[in-house]
Amino acid sequence: MLLVPPKPINTITITIMLAFTFFLIFFSSGFLHFPSVSPSLPPIHHSFTLPSINSSSDPFTDLLSSFRKWDSRVGCDKFREKTNGVLLNHSKVVSLQEFGGGCGGFELNHVSVLVKGWTWIPDNLDNLYSCRCGLSCLWTKSNVLADKPDALLFETSTPPIQRRVGEPLRAYMDLEAGRKRSGREDIYISYHAEDDVQSTYAGSLFHNGRNYHVSNTKNSDILVYWSSSRCLPQRNELAKKLLGLLPSHSFGKCLNNVGGLDMALSFFPKCENDANTKPKWWDHLHCAMSHYKFVLAIENTFTESYVTEKLYYALDSGVVPIYFGAPNVMDFVPPHSIIDGHFPLSAVFVVTILSDGWQGKSA
């Protein structure tokens, strides 16, 4: 009879401790509010299976080669074939709007959008874009360039109460969790698929002036990155419990353990974007984050389809997010790319990775 040697006692102890802690966090804390189960939900398709993955340890040396290896095994093309249109979360509401379709309904060959009110939309988005079906699109904040716009865009600021015949359409965008129509728009843009136009936080075009240099190597001792400067009590409580169990660095105002604010460049001087300008946090965020294997990503609120940059920054940096947020998050990310904190058993998965790769042997 073949006897399998038991795991070292420290691995078993850590596994039990983390798994038990996750259960306590989820079932005794008021931080999570799970939606009630609806009998009208579609049945789960048990025939759906993901490609098998060789779980043998493989040393991490290069980020791009690791991405290519992942894509060859469970990449998006294979994933689409397997799902065959079935939603991962089996949600009552479709998470993503369909993109594409025919070009027959297009009445214009050029559209100009004049941005009238904004808080965060960067100036470097101003450009002439080539869109599908031969359509060209001008996006600008300049009244001179868009002297006869087809649409006026208002981001958080309220559109005019009336639109006269022949005047541009009023587009209103609200990407905050508690999305709410202004009541004065002709086109409503939000992060949710139920609204007129869906705009997710995944677009890196919004941040095209940032430093996207990423490290080819990962820390072998400190595994988890976290940075938050909006110290919400419930988020802090959850982060404190998790980070207390894992070797981690916290760079923000909340639970800071790296000796103060703005310390990332002290740890990773090669991440400096421009030596002649005063560094900003976004100048080196992706670069600093890329040195870690995991990023703790906790949304401000757990709202359906509200998946923000907290998740996508980590994916942009080649890091695995440990995510707490939208319950249908798996509809917004590639397969096997995140650890979904909604499922307490994910803790066991985390521990397996940590136990096998504690000294940087695998990623």
- 215 has pLDDT over 70: yes
Average the pLDDT over 153-175 and give the result: 93
Instruction: Out of 39-53, 153-167, 335-349, give the one with best mean pLDDT.
Output: 153-167
Q: What is the pLDDT of residue 57?
A: 53
Q: Which residues contact 136 (CB under 8 A, 6 or more apart)?
A: 109, 110, 111, 128, 129, 130
Integer distance in angstroms from the first to the last C-alpha of the chain?
Answer: 33
- The torsion of the CA quartet 285, 240, 309, 176, rounded to 10 degrees, works out to -140
Q: What's the average model confidence in pLDDT over 197-206?
A: 82
3-state secondary structure of 138: strand
Dihedral sign, Cα of residue 192, residue 70, residue 299, residue 217: negative
Flag whether pLDDT at 211 surpasses 50: yes
Helix 309-316 / helix 281-289 crossing angle, nearest 10 deg: 60
Mean pLDDT of 300-304: 94
In contact, 179 and 192? CB cutoff 8 Å: yes
149 has a pLDDT exceeding 80 = yes
Angle value at C-alpha 88, between 87 and 91, nearest 5 degrees: 60
Pair 119, 156: CB distance under 8 Å: yes
CA dihedral 216, 220, 223, 229 (to 10 degrees): -70
- Give the CA distances from residue 175 to residues 98, 163, 179, 304, 309, in Å, rounded to whole numbers and listed in that order: 19, 23, 6, 13, 12
CB 38 within 8 A of CB 92: yes
User: Hey, how many other C-beta atoms are within 10 angstroms of the C-beta on 46?
Assistant: 6
- Report how far residue 75's alpha carbon sits from residue 301's, in angstroms, rounded to the nearest whole number: 30
Residue type, 10: N
- Do 170 and 185 meet the contact criterion of CB atoms below 8 Å apart? yes
State residue 273's pLDDT score: 80
Domain covering 12-31+217-357 assigned CATH 3.90.1150.10 in the classification: no
Query: Sorting pLDDT into bands at 50, 70 and 90, what band is 18?
Result: very low
Which amino acid is it at 182? Answer: S
CA atoms within 13 A on the CB side of 35: 14
Place of tokens 């699109």: 137
Helices then strands, counting H and E runs in the chain, come out as: 8, 12
Quote the longest CA-to-CA distance of the chain: 85
In this structure, what is the dihedral angle of CA atoms 195, 201, 205, 209, given to the nearest 10 degrees?
140
Higher-pLDDT residue of 148, 42: 148
Q: Quote the mean pLDDT of the chain.
A: 77
What pLDDT, on the 0 to 100 scale, is given for residue 32?
A: 43
Asked if residue 112 has pLDDT above 70, the reply is yes
Pairwise pLDDT comparison (288 vs 14), residue with the higher score:
288
Report the DSSP beta bridge partners of residue 110.
136
Weakest mean pLDDT among 233-237, 305-309, 316-320: 316-320
The ranges of the chain annotated as CATH 3.40.50.11660 are 12-31+217-357
Displacement of CA 277 from its chain's centroid (Å): 29
pLDDT beyond 70 at 12: no
As given in the structure block, the two tokens for residue 313 are: 């920054």
For residue 128, the surrounding DSSP H or E stretch is strand 127-130
User: Per-residue pLDDT tens for 125-147?
Assistant: 899 999 888 899 999 999 999 99
The reported pLDDT for the residue numbered 16 is 46
